[in-house]
Chain A
Amino acid sequence: MTSSRSNTLFLWPTDRLLLWLLRGLAAIAGLIVVLIVAFLIVEALPALHHVGVLRFFTDPSWHPAEGFYNLTPMLWGTLFAMAGSVLIATPLGILSAVFCRYYAPLPLARPYRRLIELLAGIPSVVYGFWGLVVLVPLIGELHPPGPSLLAGILILTIMILPTIALMADASLANVPQQYIRGAAALGLPRWATIRGVVLPAAKSGLFTGVILETGRAIGETMAILMVCGNVVQTPSGIFDPIRTLTANIALEMAYALGDHRAALFVSGLVLMAMIVTLVVSAEWISRGRIYG
């Protein structure tokens, strides 16, 4: 509480002790990020030193045993899977929030919201397992081999949809009631109100939701590892198997040594840089500097 700061004129000795204890605990919590970045950099340094930044993009292939460290196929894998799932999940998530707020009859809206919350809580390894035993064989029948970029996009879509749906739901709830009453007074029908009034008013919350789901899509490891086939290649179609940066770390960390291990930490750094960029831009947007 900000107001309680000035309502006691002095601090008791015990208060001072408590304050220092709390500051210590908070400092630990705040320093974890610094520690993570520091350790990633320290562990990545040998590779950056021996291999150099440029070779991570110009080497002929990813064959760490032979000293080739090209990360670009995995970067493309991550970007394609992310872009595909965000493109599908965003409209679905927003429409599902719209359903909850403006279309569903009251007895339906509450259970539907609970269902979305439950979906948000299901572990990624369960999504991955389901994708592996149900989705991949289905795609395999359609177009062999089955484990593919498409399977990854679909699983990621199901996984990030609750994130955007819950964020959109919260920002729709914040749209002032007068706006909607005003639209009703003008005789606007339901969808026209939503498209012309509600969605523009909720814009900054929706953008934050999209950024958060993008972060989840980039960082997801297990599900994508289980359904994507994990072949290191730049995909030429949605039925090609791919490997993402995160899956690469999970697959090779077990036996990686020396420069190879360091190269995996470099890909960790790349992921970290992506996430920091997203978090900072989310904060800018929610402060209204870009989109009012």
Chain B
Amino acid sequence: MAESMKKRLNMCEGLAFVLVWGTAALVTATFCWLLGDLVWHGLSHVSWTFLTAPPENAGRRGGIGPILVSTALILGVCLAVALPIGIGTAVLLAEFTSDHSLFGRVTRRSLDVLAGVPSIVFGLFGNAFFCKTLGLGFSILSGGLTLACMVLPILIRSTEEGFRAVPTSYRLSAAALGLSRTTTLIHLVLPAAVPGLLVGLVLGVGRAIAETAALIFTSGYVDRMPESLLDSGRALSIHIFDLSMNVSGGDANAYASALVLVVLLLVINSTVSRLTAYGLQRKIMTV
């Protein structure tokens, strides 16, 4: 009896071992397949000319120069709006609001919901509010503002964590010296919270340049070089979408663009993990 139970137990353990290792192998294999496919088909098309030249023949030939410029402009608008609002909110939540106050709880709840809103719904909202109601039309400005709404929750959360990681003794010492809260914030807490802030910034950038659905109906499809923020501009992710769905024979350039986008994101991703490690090591700040 005991013998057969032990046998069954051993079988369970063996099965679990195979399952767990199998899962890990499957995930790794899928990842390698995806990345390998992109590199294999994309790498031969990526060159300096590809990165700078304008697209020709609806993107079948030529490069992605204007598209990279549009992407950067959209990102710039997004950050210029999201950073002040995001940092301000994070400071308020971490430094000036107790966890149980009504204002703090309501703001947090609303940001939690905002974080879950599907990107296409952001697209609908951006189209109705920025393009139509505010009259900005299909433009880089509308796209950037829509993205700003989208990256706020992620930006606020990591910035707030950065502020919470600053030791309380900093604030107590400053208060004992009779410094105002504003001075304490600007000269002591803010510099010490920079690592968290950078992580939030980089995560926000990553989310923003990966986005497609929110941009289709806000920043538009036009693939010319944008002349002002009120021009329509095509983001890199939309370029990939358009080439693969609407342009027959665009696969080669779509592969190359996808490779550029993934490499950009890998760089961003590894910056985050560097910064996190850096923030953990750095305990003492010089002002």
**A residues adjacent to B (C-beta < 8 A):** 1-5, 7-8, 11-12, 14-15, 17-19, 21-26, 28-36, 39-40, 42-43, 92, 95-96, 98-99, 103-104, 112, 114-119, 121-130, 132-134, 158, 161, 165, 189-192, 194-195, 212, 215, 218-222, 225-226, 246, 249-250, 253-254, 264-265, 268, 271-272, 275-276, 278-279, 283
Contact = CB atoms under 8 A, between A and B. Distances in A.
Given A99-B21, A121-B269, 10 more contacts: A2-B98, A12-B180, A22-B91, A25-B84, A122-B210, A125-B237, A126-B240, A254-B217, A265-B128, A279-B112
B88 A219 contact: no
A170 to B, nearest CB: 14
A253 B12 contact: no
Most buried by B among A15, A18, A34: A18
A87 to B, nearest CB: 15
Given A121-B206, A125-B212, A219-B119, A4 B168 contact: yes
Q: Is the interface of B mostly helix, strand, loop or mixed?
A: helix
B175 to A, nearest CB: 5
Given A95-B20, A279-B112, A116 B124 contact: no
Contacts of A283: 109, 112
Contacts of A165: 27
A220 to B, nearest CB: 8
Nearest to A253: B217
B213 A25 contact: no
B185 to A, nearest CB: 7
B23 A96 contact: yes
Q: Count chain A CB atoms within 10 A of each CB in B20, B109, B120 and give the residue with the most.
A: B120
B152 A192 contact: no
A195 B28 CA distance: 24
A126 B26 contact: no
A114 B273 contact: yes
B92 A26 contact: yes
B237 A4 contact: no
A29 B111 contact: yes
10 contacts: A18-B185, A33-B111, A35-B125, A36-B114, A121-B265, A121-B269, A125-B237, A130-B34, A219-B117, A249-B124
A2 B97 CA distance: 7
Given A1-B164, A34-B110, A191-B17, A221 B181 contact: no
A112 B29 CA distance: 12
A4 B31 contact: no
B95 A4 contact: yes
Given A33-B113, A112-B28, A276-B113, A130 B37 contact: yes
B95 A1 contact: yes
A40 B122 CA distance: 10
Contact of A29 (B21, B85, B124, B265): B85
A25 B85 CA distance: 5
Contacts of B30: 158
Contacts of B213: 124, 221-222, 246, 250
A192 B6 CA distance: 12
Contacts of A14: 180, 182
Contacts of B149: 32, 36
Interface of B: 9, 12-13, 16-17, 19-21, 23-24, 26-28, 30-31, 33-34, 37-38, 84-86, 88-89, 91-96, 98-99, 103, 106-107, 109-114, 116-125, 127-129, 133, 149, 152, 156, 164, 168, 171-172, 175, 180-182, 185, 206, 209-213, 216-217, 237-238, 240-241, 244-245, 251, 254-255, 258, 261-262, 265-266, 268-269, 273
A34 B273 CA distance: 34
Contact of A8 (B181, B212, B237): B181
A26 to B, nearest CB: 4
The 7 closest A-B pairs by CB, nearest first: A219-B118, A25-B88, A123-B210, A191-B16, A12-B180, A221-B213, A22-B92
B117 A190 contact: no
A30 B107 contact: yes
A32 B85 CA distance: 11
A255 to B, nearest CB: 11
Contact of B9 (A15, A192, A278): A192
A23 B210 contact: no
A123 B118 contact: no
Contact of A121 (B96, B98, B210): B210
Contact of A129 (B17, B125, B258): B258
Nearest to B117: A275
B268 A121 contact: yes
B282 to A, nearest CB: 19
A33 B117 contact: yes
A33 to B, nearest CB: 5
A160 B21 CA distance: 20
A284 B120 CA distance: 26
Contacts of B37: 130, 133-134
B258 A189 contact: no
